[in-house]
Structure 1
Amino acid sequence: MVMLFESSTIKNITIKNRVMMAPMCMFSVEKEDGIVTPFHLTHYESRALGQVGLIMVEATSVTADGRISPLDLGIWSDEQIEGLHTLTSRIHAHGSTAAIQLGHAGRKAKTNQPAYAPSAVAFSEDEAIPTEMNEEKVTETIDAFKAAALRAKESGFDIIEIHGAHGYLINQFLSPLANTRTDRYGGTREGRYQFLRETITAIQSVFEGPLFVRISAEEYHKDGNTMDDFIYFAKEMKKQGVDLIDVSTGGLVQAPIDVFPGYQVPHAETIKKAAQIKTSAVGLITSGRQAEEILKNQRADFICVGRALLNDPYWPKRAAEELGYVIEAPKPYARGWA
């Protein structure tokens, strides 16, 4: 059996294959209102039609002031539910599982409002110093993640992923490079994990489906978190009932990164084995054979495909052909896929 096209059940959700579309910001909202546009419907539905098993919708902001850009999708208002529900309906129509990544940019937010962060530490010398979040703002933001999870449920999403990677708010809380707090949300790694801990608990109080967390398991700085720290975080997430860790790297500080095919896979493998938790692997995974090797050698449980899917919405078909496997064509396309 070709593992890439085996189904997998997590809690109450069966995903038809191990191909996962990576959450990639599209910056395509038209009126800066966070509402789904025709572009989003076409973009995500075409990948579902292309037989991607798990469609992970891009980082969707839980607050208006937490957007990466003014053109981000949003889930901070009930007015955004209708468009998101249409989107999940389109994804489900082709047998794919619909997931959404909930995020807050923290000090990397680019809106007309002040940027908030765990500490008053700028991303770089060229960036403004953010406002340190007091405990009231911390609680308010955790509540925003909870409200967003409830909207995600109402919108028909099967899976929620918390964005704790790429230098955004939760990544900032986790790292000593961005978190210099001395209260219960800072200091030791136990303290730095507290914001994520409370966010997970808040989401689980309103959402019963599978819960993923994306992390950056390498900060590319000598004073950043080590793999031991990430294994600790992963074990804590498992204790809390997180189902899968989506393992990426970088984004917290400006740093050169040696990028090559599969360069982030070892991080997913290490966390999977050390914490005994499901992981997804991402990072220039572009071929079916490459994906199959990762799965067969138990280095990860899902293959997260990003740029290759931007290039080809039918990447699963190409991967299947490379592996000598036939996937069922959407009925209207059967003549062309034969």
Structure 2
Amino acid sequence: MKYTQLGRTGLKVSRLVLGTMNFGPQTDESTSHGIMDAALDAGVNVVDTANVYGWGENKGRTEEIIGSWFDQGGGRRDRTVLATKVYGSMSREGETWPNEDRLSALNIRRAVEASLKRLRTDYIDLYQFHHIDRLTPFEEIWQAVDVLIQQGKILYAGSSNFPGYKIAQANEIAARRGSTYGLVSEQCLYNLHERRAEMEVLPAAREYGLGVIPWSPLHGGLLGGVIRKEVTGGRRASGRTAEALTDTAVRARIQAYEDLLDKHGLEPGEVALAWLLTRPGVTGPIVGPRTAEQLDSALRAVELELSEDVLTGLDEIFPGPGPSPEAFAW
């Protein structure tokens, strides 16, 4: 496994991040534990989750699965950089109550305590805001975060799904009030097919020293060889991926992508991950394997070196918008 620093921090993290959104809803506890053990054995030291994972009536279930894994001992917690998120409502259906969502100081305080209990640990390495909160000022958010850092309950704060201007606003306010760190990472939608983050988010992250952690690196499976699987009788596309392929322009791009990689004898899913690892400022993409085999494929991507011919071909198929303001102005 290869490692890098998380943004401007001294924290050393693996170039792949293990995402756990499938743990509980699609992957049972025993299999989830096996995947986490295999990832840790391979050197993946970052586990990413969120308090709402498990979804619906099972919100919090994913954190509980991780907590029971930590309880097995063997240095699992000490070797893991643990990242979770706060924002979404943890109220059960029909039990909605004020201050159980968003980023008020009250909800942050309560949410941290609840996550620590489910995760069976006394601290969270990276505590991430799952979305911007248009109702809570950053002064209040940083006050709550600073207290948690002083208490040793979290070490760093990060963002997720933030636009570039909010990254700037958050860190300028943190600096103005003398907060401990400000944001140190941004978790955003970024992949070959969806490159709009290059306009504002990635430049803002680089300017303020945030590590970038892309989610959905295969764009819901669209970049994982979906057309090839259709032809060979493998798992067929469903949901949003199947819907996307009904667009003739999208299907043509994906076909060109798969043809390019067939020409070079490369696996689409591994290339999509390896491409992200060539992007400036990217710490490591989140991979969310449902099985051990999917984890093995993701691990191979870390060692994959893409030739200039392949990189050029990928840019021709998925050119991206380019940086701002040139992407939309002169």
The alpha carbon displacement at 1:94 in A equals: 11
Aligned counterpart, 1:72 = 59
Q: Secondary structure at the match of 1:70?
A: helix
The alpha carbon displacement at 1:105 in A equals: 1.6
Q: Secondary structure at the match of 2:295?
A: coil
Distance in 2 separating the partners of 1:319 and 1:283? 15
Residue 281 of structure 1 is aligned with which of 190, 207, 214?
214
Residue 247 of structure 1 is aligned with which of 171, 187, 196?
187
Which protein has greater RCO, CA pairs closer than 8 Å, 6+ apart? 2
- Residue identity in the other structure for 2:59: D
2:19–2:287 Cα contact (<8 Å) kept: yes
Instruction: Check if 1:318 corresponds to 2:300.
Output: yes
The alpha carbon displacement at 1:164 in A equals: 2.5
Instruction: Check if 1:114 corresponds to 2:111.
Output: no
Distance in 1 separating the partners of 2:38 and 2:299? 13
Aligned counterpart, 1:300 = 282
Instruction: Check if 1:271 corresponds to 2:186.
Output: no
**Cα distance 1:305–1:295, how it changes in 2: closer, same or farther (>3 A)?**
same
Q: Secondary structure at the match of 2:50?
A: strand
Greater mean alpha carbon deviation, residues 86-95 or residues 209-218: 86-95
1:91–1:97 Cα contact (<8 Å) kept: no
2:88–2:130 Cα contact (<8 Å) kept: no
1:279–1:300 Cα contact (<8 Å) kept: yes
User: What TM-score, normalized by structure 1, do the two folds share?
Assistant: 0.56
**Cα distance 1:73–1:247, how it changes in 2: closer, same or farther (>3 A)?**
same
Matching of residues 72-151 of structure 1 within 5 Å: 72-73=59-60, 84=67, 86-87=69-70, 92-93=75-76, 97-106=80-89, 109-116=91-98, 138=104, 140-148=106-114, 151=117
**Cα distance 1:309–1:262, how it changes in 2: closer, same or farther (>3 A)?**
farther
**Cα distance 1:150–1:156, how it changes in 2: closer, same or farther (>3 A)?**
closer
- Residue identity in the other structure for 1:199: A
Residue 53 of structure 1 is aligned with which of 35, 41, 45?
45
Distance in 1 separating the partners of 2:279 and 2:66? 40
Instruction: Check if 1:214 corresponds to 2:159.
Output: yes
User: What TM-score, normalized by structure 2, do the two folds share?
Assistant: 0.57
Q: Secondary structure at the match of 1:269?
A: helix
Distance in 1 separating the partners of 2:43 and 2:216? 20
The alpha carbon displacement at 1:311 in A equals: 7.0
- Residue identity in the other structure for 2:212: T
Distance in 2 separating the partners of 1:153 and 1:262? 32
1:100–1:152 Cα contact (<8 Å) kept: no
Q: Deviations over 1:231-251 (max 9, x none)?
A: 2124445754146323325xx
**Cα distance 1:95–1:230, how it changes in 2: closer, same or farther (>3 A)?**
closer
Aligned counterpart, 1:230 = 167
The alpha carbon displacement at 1:159 in A equals: 1.8
- Residue identity in the other structure for 1:70: E
Matching of residues 7-86 of structure 1 within 5 Å: 7-8=4-5, 13-15=11-13, 17-24=14-21, 26-28=23-25, 37-56=29-48, 58-60=49-51, 68-73=55-60, 84=67, 86=69
Aligned counterpart, 2:263 = none
1:20–1:302 Cα contact (<8 Å) kept: yes
**Cα distance 1:73–1:145, how it changes in 2: closer, same or farther (>3 A)?**
closer
* Identity across the alignment (%): 6
Q: How many residues align?
A: 252
- Residue identity in the other structure for 1:48: L
Distance in 1 separating the partners of 2:290 and 2:201? 19
The alpha carbon displacement at 1:313 in A equals: 1.5
2:205–2:211 Cα contact (<8 Å) kept: yes
Q: Secondary structure at the match of 2:95?
A: coil
The alpha carbon displacement at 1:18 in A equals: 1.3
Residue 163 of structure 1 is aligned with which of 119, 124, 129?
129
**Cα distance 1:161–1:22, how it changes in 2: closer, same or farther (>3 A)?**
farther
The alpha carbon displacement at 1:101 in A equals: 0.7
Distance in 2 separating the partners of 1:213 and 1:114? 27
Could you list the runs of 5+ residues in structure 2 that have no partner in the other structure?
224-268, 307-330
**Cα distance 1:197–1:307, how it changes in 2: closer, same or farther (>3 A)?**
same
